[in-house]
Structure formats: structure tokens, C-alpha cells
Structure 1
Amino acid sequence: MKKQLVIGVICAGIVALSNSFAQNLVVNPSFEQTTTNCGNPFGEGYADLIDWDDTNSGNDTCTTPDLFSACNLLIGNMGPTHMPYSQLGYQYSHTGTRHAGFISHELGSEYREYVQGHTSAPLTAGQTYCVSFYVSLANMSLYATNNMGIRFTNSNYQHNACPGSSNSLINLPPQLNSTCVISDTNGWVRLQWDYTAAGGEQYFVIGNFFNNAGTNIANHTPASGGMALPMPFAYYFIDDVSITPNTCCYADIAPVDNMCVTDAAITLTATPPLGIACAPVPISGTWSGPGITNGATGAFDPAVAGPGVHTVNFLLSCGTTVSTTITVSPCAGLDVCLEANGDLTVSGGIAPYQWQSEVSTQDCSACIIGCTFPPGCATTSMVWTTYSSNATATPGTLPIQVVDNTGEIESIATLVGIPACTTIPCPPVNINATSQTNVLCNGGSTGALTVSASGGNGGPFTYVWNPGNLSGTTQTNLTATTYTITATGTDGCDGTATFTITQPVALSTTTSSVDASCGANNGTATVNASGGTGSYTYSWVPSGGTGATTTPVAAGVYTVTVTDGNSCTTTANVTVGTAGGPTLTISNQQNISCFGVNDGEATVSAAGGATPYTYLWAPSGETTATATGLSAGLNTITVTDNAGCSVSEQVTLTGPTQMVITGTVTDEDCGALNGNIAASVSGGTGPYAYAWTGTAAVTATISNLDDGTYTLTATDANGCSASSTFTVDQIGDLNVTAVPGSAVISEGASLQLTASGATTYVWTPTGGLSCTNCPNPVATPSGSTIYVVTGTDANGCSGTASVTITMNPVCNEVFVPTIFSPNSDNGNDLLCAFGNCFSQVDFAIYNRWGEKVFQTDDLQVCWDGMYKGKPVNAEAFVYKLSGTRINGEEVSLSGTIQVIR
């Protein structure tokens, strides 16, 4: 198809979006990765895309989609597949500098084109995926259609689409299909579906899967000022194909032009994608960010936001956040002054600034070959180039201009009349708290503070918080103290303010009790709380009471938890004694000797009440006056007299902490007996004694070790012990060398190899060697070979080295015929390039429009004179052959090929 169209538009604004989506499983989803990477002077086509395919099992030129790229030729603003100008219309890629395109309907036939991609991994059965892509109708299309569908398969789908245009139709049902007629030529329309996978799908095909009778074909008026003959088909651009493992949750934010602080407030708009019912999917959400004065409606006031580049977020009710940036400028112009040393300094506007000078550049986009053909195709123009990004810069060669971050420009054609710079005091920088949360509980770290700076010569500002040397506008997990914050603008002007995070008085308690009568439940336990915040709640264990006093209770120990209005808590124990019962005295307390050992001792003496007494220690369960198996911590002794009166007393015993052995191991160098273990012991009761297995050492550190396993047992002053095992490994290889490291020989030649540094040697592979276990074999390989020698010394240490032998073949001359006749008479029907010894080669043929009609990286593949399933006309074509031979020679050929019929 011939594509000729020139359309001029002005890009009013660009909005950056960031979405909290799951990972996109589509490989190369935006068509940005190609094999040429803009390195081919003739441009790049769909066949150059990485990880994208068509669906034709025959000649690649049948039903092949197109790649629109900024790298493609732009001749007189009418490049066939240039981005944004092309024969089919003017359209910027949705993202990046490339997008694809295909035909969904052609007048008078069932001709179709499809794009086929794949995911990085098969889809999981039962998992719901959000499937989406963006489409835009080409300006010069005579028609628009519905049936934009996607069909999933477990393997690459191919069918024979040639010959005949009707064979290109894939008459199979797609799992997902849009019944909407897409006629938007200015913007991109997002189509999306929720898809539940059957399992195993890894390939997908996008296009129109219905014949003309099943397709809604609508007339479309082509854009004016383009080609004389509009294209007789429905042609769609496609970009940003996405498959993510989640249900769809998405919106686009309508672009916003740069604003002045004095502009009126605007209402931001979130645009939903097109749903299955051909109507926008209903969305709801909340707006937030600088300048947002109504989170429900999206009202944005530039005066509230202030000068700067602001990020505004829209949180959809389904959980996704989309963002846009809005630039607000003071719109007061830029001020430039002349420094004493001749430099220029800019102020006002929004930093950073860019100083730019005019440089001449050669535009070769209208040329077919280099910058010389056709003659006069190259033009020279002046463009602005940034040479400094500082506020102060040397003038350079006039004229120059300075641009601030909002795009405001100050042009300078002469230095005459520019005022001299004077030292201007910094305007005040004010810091205010926009939100503050104090600490909830005494000693906690639940404070938070957000600040915002204004004034000076404008932001953005950097912030330093002390104590803590923190940065940023917001801090969380703060403790109670006074924080000093310094905000500094890009011009060096700063301001300081202090903010105090407070905390409530610590929650504390006092307790009292009334003894219970012997054997009766008539005692009382009381707690008095103070401090904290608000009112208190109480929880008593084991009585279950919920007031400040729990009664009636029996004699015993009661634990109360007090909670204040901020959910801060404190606990206290209250002992209710027995009136008339025995009294207890604790003696002979002995603490625990070793961690985890229950060998503590204590003796209780009882007096009063009715003898004899019974004893019960908890948790040990001992029943004598003297207990010898007590554990570290709280132990309770309960004494009951002969009248049934019980009295309890608590005994707290301590014990050493757990003994822990740590250490650092230094591995042994091969055969050197230089291993080392440096151990240390903590816990228990010092000093420690040390004993090692595998050595007689009695110190914490042992040296001169062979590789192996060593166990250290440490014993403390109480006879408590702990053990730990360390492993010393053997490291390092024997330094074996082999010469020559690499060599190039002719076919049939021999080469002397020599190895050193070991005692014994083994060479692999064995083919072509005069010996395989000697240090110096003679190699006569049959082809390029890498020989590896393994050497071993008397200590059993080994190492390897290698020799790479490259065998040079004889390379013949590269030849491309200049004429052939693909008329199916079995004579000269194919055009082949001839040559050998290539490690990499690219052979491409272009028509006079700059379209790539054939390409191969294998010179065994020849051109049959077909393009897109049809014979090419008898005319001249341009070829380009480039490659690298195995001897390093670079080959680059170009010329013409005449097709005759």
C-alpha cells in the first residue's frame, strides 16, 4: 500500500501517568525494542520487532502489520511509516517513539492483518487478568470498524494467508472482543476486559476475527490536506498492550496545560476506559495533592498550589492510584543581571534553569542514502542546545536564551542594557505545620509531623530535621521532643522553625488491699490510677473485676491492667492477705546457677494460725517448707494451716543469662594449614574455660588449622557449659598456566601447548593432542577448539587453564546480482546474495518509497520478488548488506537491483 499524508498539529501538553498496577506480562508491550535499534539508515519495519510476529506461515510479506517509528525515513514530511508523520496519518505513539498498525477491513475483500505477541509466562488457570491495549484510527482511513478482538492460544498461531486476500481472515472466535466502532483519530482509546484464564495461554493475536458480513463497517471522512487518494480500508494504530494478574482498575487523567498562579481554578477530569457496552466504565475516586481544594470533584486552584511542578493523585475506589503533574508558574517573567566577571545570573520563575545557545545542525531525514542522495536532500537549520543548567552561566555566543522549569523563556540578543547584579537579601522563608500528631503513650514513638515551606524566591525546598538529621516534608514514628527544621530553597535562602511533639504524663498506679477473713471471700483489692489521657478502664485477673476496686475476693495475688483513653496500659499486682491465718517469713534464698536449670532454693517459716501447716510451691509443685527446684523469676509459696486458712508469699529468684558462643572462621588456603577460628562467649558467669575437639587448645581463638570441623565447649564459673561447632573450609585454586592463551592457525597446522604450575596434568578434549597427561602436548585440531588443562600438586590442590585455538577458513568475495526476473519461469526467479564466513549479516531491500520489502540474516534465504503477498512492479530497488566476518572484517555494500518481468 502507498502511504502519503502530511498533517501538522501543535502538542498542547503532555501528562505523565503513574499507576500502581501489577506487573505487565506482555513482552515488549509498547513495540519499543527492535533488532536495529535505529541503527539502519533505511529505517525499521514490523519484521525488526523483538518478540512480535504476524500470523502467516508463508511469505512474511503476506498480511504483515506495520511498525511506525521515529527512526524511519521522513521524506518531505511523508514517510510511509514515520512517527508521528506517515502516509496514513499523524499520530504520536501513546508511549515511547514506536507503535504498530494493522488493517481491520479493506474495500472489496476480506483482507485482514493481525499482530501476535506473547507473555513472559503461561497464564494460570482460574486467575483473572486485566487485558488492555490502546487503538487509534488512522486519519486517512475511509472506514472505521468494530470487532477489535484478542484470541489467546497456548502456542504461536500460524496459518497460510497467501495467496488471495480472503485467505488472510482468521475465522476463529476471539475470547475477548469489542463491539464498539472506534473512530477517534486524535487520541488513543483504551480497550480493556477482565479475562479468566483457562490455563497455559502464552500467545495472543489481536485484530478483526469476523468477515465483512459480521463486521459493522462505518464510513469515515479522511483528514484534509493529506493524500490525493485516501486509503480504501480501516487502518488502526495500536500501542501499550497489557496483561496483568488482577481485575481491571484504571483511569486516564485529561492533560492540563501549564498554568499561572493567577489563573482561575479548574476541575480535573479522570477518563475511564471504554467498556464492553461501548460506553465509558463508571469510575469514582478521590483527588489529592497540592492545589486540590475539593477531593470529590477534583477542583484544582493554582493559587493554593503555588509555583512549582505538582503531582496530583486520583485514588480510584477499586484501589488504583493514577497521577499527573501540573506545572504552575509565577508568570512574572525571568530577570537576568550581569555579574562583575561577565557571567549572567537568572532569577524568578521556577528552577532549575537551562541556558541555551543556537547551533547549526544538518537534517538528513529527506535523504534516501546518507546525506547525499538525492542531491540537495540535506538541509541545515539552527536549533537551541542547552550548555548550562546553573542559575549563573557565561553568556556564550549571542543570541542566547534561558528557560525555567515551566518553559518560560527570556531571550538575550545583546548584553547592552542588562542591569548589573547586586546582592539582594533573601526574602523570609516561612515553615508551617500542615498536620501534627502527638505521641499517644508516654515513651512511645507514634508522633507524626508534616510541614510546608513558602516564601524566599520560591521552591522547591529541601528540609533538614534535628535531632535525627532527617529530611523531607513528613516524618512519622516520632518521639516526644522539640524538632528544629530548616528549609532551604534552590537559591540558598533558608528559614528555620521549631515544632514540639508532646506526650501525656506516664500512666502510673498505687494499690491498697483489705485482708480476707480466714477461709472467706470478703477481701478487697484497690488500684488508684493517675497520668495518661482521659478516663480509665480496669481488668482484674483472676477475679474478673472491671472497676478500680474488686471485691469480694479471697486471699491471694490479683493482677490489674489499667487502660487509658489512648489505649495505653500499665499493670500492678495487689496481694490480699488472710486475717487470722499464719504469717510467713522467707529465708535461705539461693538464685539459679545456670540458664534454664531449675535449682533455685528458698525456705518459708510460718507462725500463727493452727498447726500443722501444708506447703505448696508454684510453679515447681514442691510441698515442703524448703524448695530446692525453683526456676528463675516469680515463685509463689502458699501455706495452709490446720483450720484451712491459706496465705501466699512471692519469691523472686534471678539467674545468669544464656551462654552464647559466636565466632569468625578464616578458611584454609589450599594446603597451607593457616585456618583460624576466633570465638567469643557471652552470658553465664565468667570467667570461662575452653575445650576444643580436634586440637588441644584451651583458648577462645585457635590457629594453624587444617580444613575440617571443630567443636568448642565453654564452661563458666558455675560449671554451666555451652557448645558450638565451626567448619573450616579449604579455599583457593592452584595457579596453573597454559601458553599460548590463544592462537590463530591455518587449517591442518599444529601448535605446541605448554602447561606449568602443577605436578600432574590432564588435557581435554583429547582429540588432536599428541598426549593428554603431559605438560606439553602438540595440538593438531580439526577445527576451532578450546583445550582445558587441569593441574594437581602434591597436596591435592588443583587449578585449570585453557588455550583457545581459532582455525581460519578461506573467505570468498561477497556478490549481489543487480538484475533478476521473478516471473516463475524457473530461471533467475530468485535474488540471492553470495558470500561466506559471516558471523553476523543483515541483507535488506527497499522500494522507492523507503519501505522494506525483504530482509534476512541468512544468505541462504533469497527474495522471490513478492511484497505483502503480491508481486512487486518492474522497477529499481535499493539493497543494503552489512555484516561481520569471523576474521573481524566488516562488510558494507549497497546498490540497486532491477526487477524485470
Structure 2
Amino acid sequence: MRIIIPMLCGLLAASSAYADAPDTLTPPNGNIIYSPNCTTGGLGTLFGIVIPQNPSAAYQWMGPNGFSTGQQSFTVPDTGWYYLIVTANNCPSFPDSVHVQYFNPPMVEAYTSSPFYCPAEDSIRLSATSNSPLIFWRRLLPNGNYSYIGSGAEAYISGNLLGNVMERILVSTNGAYGCEALDTVTLMRQGIVTPSTPVLDCPGDSLSLSVTGDGAFSWNTGDTTAVLHTIADSASLFAVTVTDANGCTTMGSQAVYIQNGAYVSLRAFPQAICAGDTVLLQAAGGSAYLWENDDTTGSISLALLHSDTIGLTITTPEGCIVDKTITLVAHPLPVAPSVSCDALYESLTYHWIAVPGLAYAAEFLSGPEGQWLSDSSLLASGLMPGQESVIILQVTDSLGCRSSVEARCQTAKCMLEANLEPIGPICLEPNAPSISLSATVSGSLLPGQGYWTGTGADSTLATFSPAIAGAGSHQLIYRYIEGPCQVADTLEAHIDMPLSEALIQCDSTPNSVIFNWPQLPQDSLYELSIQSGQTGQALSDTTFLVVGLMPGEAVILQAIAHGAAPCGLVSVVKECRAENCRTASPPTSRLICPGKSVELAPVYLEGAVYQWSPATGLSCSDCVAPIASPDTTTVYEFTITEANGCIRTGSMTVAVGELPDQLLPDTLWACAGQPFYFCLPDEGYYRWRTPQGQYQFLSCLYFSQALPSDAGHYWADVRLPGLCRFEKEFVLAIDESPDCGP
């Protein structure tokens, strides 16, 4: 709303204390007052005054285009200059003039970002548009006064300076000829609640409540609109919180009453349940009740499978009939997931798809307790292969509603099967290579380990060595272990030993050779031939005799074995020799006391002819073991002629009362740093004396390591049971050359 009020450019002179006394000395003061049309900017009214006042004063006006008039006031006919002379008491005033013209009237329009204000807001912005720079702001007070706010196109006022339900802000601007334009903005206090009626006739009657303000609204009923349409079952306080765009918040409330204090109520305990649970409905305030199921008690219990609205008619003692309904929320039960299992031999992993916002718990009905891996997986361990585990998986939502599902799973059974690649018959040739062993296992779930056992089996390389196993049938066992499960299988390997030179043995005499070999299982026939020119005969399938040989004569036999696969036909050549004549055993020297005898027995050969020389001191010269009784040391030669023509010769020394050079040379040699032994016939008591005066008492002189310090003169002292004694001095020399040896 805009109000244009013309203002006088000057003040009317107040009545002077001397107004009734004409001043004949001073000319009157004539003045012009112009009141234009401030609304349109058009021509207005000219008015003349005189000071001091004089009712008999005469006014003389002159204007453009010869205009003149004697009226005190008139409407200006045209623009231009107007002049006034006032004559009082025949005394004219000085002329006064005014220039009258058309002009733009002042205009102003006020704005605010919202017609509401928040008392807690720091600064409320006021703005105005005007055709004049002179703009002034005032707060209009309820008592008719005002308080100055400020000037300019914008002004700000703090909300804590305001407090009325309705605040009026006046803005003004000044223009030509003293014209003034006005505008007013109204600010309503945010959060003022106004009911359609504060007192209701009956419970359940409807009403509306509106609240001032812009922004967000939050009623204690849960509504969020500026106008609340509701009913009241009892005296109630409705409260609202209003938050404007700047975040400033105010609160308002309004109490609503019911005639005679009547009330009704209908409540549910609890208000929300899970599907299948029971809810208690309780009514109050009535003298009679009628439920939609025709029950007439003040409370009923219901089991709900889904949300429902229940109706009730309540009659109050005041005669009010109130129809009430209550909506009961039966939250659907969460959907129990589909449970799957990953089965190993000793553990099970239960899986399901977890839904955000749901909690999961498990009860183990059989089997050991499990371990949670996540909200969608559960591990049950410590089981046996093929063991069943049963759980009840319970699902709970944020409202506490629950559902469950039973899941049964079984650990994996041991279903391992081993398949071994067979090995064909093997012929054990020289340097026969190892054979690869191959095994495949089916029904496996986990990484496992397999190994081979058996003669010739190398588990690390998974090979079988015929050379190590040898001929015959061999069982190779493959075992595979996977967790608690294992499987074993047996592989049969048959090895044939082919006839070879090493298998053909020879038994020989100086005049014959017998070839013999084992009967090999695969061989059915042996074809034999002599390659060295002799003749022979088969004594059996595996024995062949050649006779009429000379001692040491060679016989070459070719044997062709006719056998089955894998060895087949095998040809072998074997060379054997007739036995050579045997050499005589080394003779044993003897020590005797003078006048004593000793038996000579070099070796006994049945059917052989013996000859001893010389015959001196012998009991016989052609017997096997003559008795020798020489007077002095004697060397006896002997010749043994065997029936096969072999001749053996040898000699034996019989030392009588002395140690001759044949038994103990004057000088013995030892290699430095090497063991040294020298022995005499073990027939008495010995004492060896070293150069250092030490003694050894065995039949052998012995040093574990001959040293240069051991060289020197030694004494050998022998005492025989016949109480005779032999002594001899000799020298032990040490050979220190590096090539000294036996």
C-alpha cells in the first residue's frame, strides 16, 4: 500500500502575541504555499498567507499568459512563474514567487525475503525500490510511535529487537515540492499457532491448526505441513517446530480442550509387532464400547499375520459417540535365506546371501560348534568324513522380527580311487633302465600326497628299477593320502632274468669241466654247442660235462636259450678252464732241541705219492708225514705227485739247537713309518731285546710304525719245552727311502 501525503513547504505562522496590533511601520510578509498533486505529479493549489495574520489583507496574484486573481487560494491553471503581493493596512508586501511545473511523483515499494521473522535470527534484510535516493525506515509501535531503523535502499534489523506477533515496518521517500511516498511491510512472528477452535464439543471432533512461517514444519503429531488437520480425543497440546531457510528455529504450541473434560483413547500394546505376534488393544473414556468384531469389553487381544486397521465405537458418559480406528503394524518377518554348503572331509562352510540390516545367528543341532567367517558364511570344523551337521539359521531384522531356516549338510565322503598304469613283463637286461610309475587318483577334493613302496620302487622319482628288484614277481604298492582319507592299490611287476654268462657256473678238475645254470621260468629249451673243439654231453637240461682235458685247458660253451617274451631267444658264450695243478702249502719250519724228533706234515692229498730228501734222520722217505730226528739243522725237500699228474714241491727246515739264517737272517729290514712284523715258529717261549733294553715276549717282533730310532742290534732268545735255549744277535735296519714297500 502506498500513501502520498502532501507536505507544506513552510510552517504556518503561529498567532503572534502582537497579531492584534497592526504594524504600520513594517510591510507585511506575504508567502506562497504550493500543494501539488503528489500522486500524479500534476498541478496543484497555490495558497497565500500573510504574517502577521490580517483577515482584511488583500491578495494579488499574477501568472503566465496574463493570469491574475485576487483569491487567497486557487487551482493552478498552467505551469510557469506565479507571483503574490499581499496588501495589509494599505501596506503592500514584498513579492513572493514560485515556479510551478509538472514533476515525477515520489514512489517507494518495500520488500522482505519472507513475510515471517524468526526472533533468533541475527539480521533480517529489508529492501526497497524508489525513484528517490532519500529512503527512511521506521518500526511502527503498537502505541502509535515509531523507532528509527535506518536509511537507504537496504536496511537490517535483528530479530531479537522484534517480538510482536505482527510487526509493521514503514518505509518513506521524499520528492519535489515536499511530496512524500510511503509503504509498509508486515512481518509475522514465526511459530504462532492458530487453531480453528480451542474448545471441541466431543472427543474425536476435527480441527485445524495453522502456524506462521516458511520452511520446514515438525508437529508433535508427526505431521510436516503448515496447516495441521487433526482430531482430538482429549485435551491436547499441539506443538510445532518451524525452521526457516536460514536454519533459524522457533517453537509454538496451542492447547485444545473438550467440553466438560470428556475424552476417549484407544491404544495398542505394542503399537507395532512382528507378524504372528499378539497385540493388546485398550480403550478408555467411554461408558460403552463396541468393537468391529462385536466385542463390548474395554480391551481385546489380537494375533496379527499382517498389518490391519481395527475399528471401535465409544460412547462417552456425556453422550458423545466417537468412532475410533487404530492401525496396527505387523511387520513382515525377514525372509530366511537359502543356505548352501561347501563340503570338505573334515569341515563344512555354510553360505548364504546376507542382506544389509539383518543380523544372523546360528544354533548347531548336531556336530561341533562352528566359527563365523562373515555375516554370510559359517565354518563347521572338527568333523569326520561323511558326518552330518545340522544348524538352525536365525535371521533378525532391525525391528527384532525373526525367522529361521534349518540347513543340513554332510562332509565329503572319502571317495578316492587310484588307477595304476600296468607294467608289462620285463627282461632284466644288463644296465636295464628304470621304468616310470604312473598313478591317477579320482574323487579328490584337496591337494594330497602319493608314494610308492616295494622292492625297486623309488617314490621320489616315481620309478621302478628292475635291476634293484631282480627277477621274479614284485608287488608295487601305491598309497595316496588326502587329509583323513587314503587309498591304496597294488601293481604287479614280473621280471624275467635272461640267461647270461654270469648265471652259467663251472665246476672243474684238472681233467674235466661241468657247466651248470638255473632253469629259468621263461625258457623251454637250451641249445648247447662246444666252440673250442672238445666234445661233451648234457647231464640234464641245465648241466653239460666235458672230460679228457689237460689241467688249465679252456672250454668254450655256447648256450642258446629258447624263451618266451620279453626275453625271447638269448645266446650266451661261457668259457671255463680245467683246474690247474695246486701248489703246495708254504712249508712250516720247526725248532727242536738236540736229540729230539718232530713230525713233518706239509699237506695231505688222497691218492698222491710223496718223496722226501735227504732221507737222513727221517723215519721214512715216501710217506705222507715222516718223523725227523736230525742231529743238526737240516732242510728237507719233498715232492707230491697227484693222480691227475699234478706235481707239487716244497721244503721244510728243521732247526736243531740254533736259529739258522734260513729262519733269522743276520739283518732284517723295515720301512720307516710302516708296520713291521717278523715271526718265528710258535714252539716255545720268546724274548726279544731291543737296543734300548726293552723286551717283547711273543713269537713275533712287532712295531706298529717303524722309526729310525728303532734301528740297531737285537737279541732273540727262544726256550723250548725241552729246556733247550736258542740265542742269536741280529741287526734291524730302517729303510727311509720314499719308495720302500713290501
Would you say same fold, with TM above 0.5?
no
Q: Which has the higher strand share?
A: 2
- Rg bigger for which structure? 2
The normalised TM-score by structure 2 is 0.19
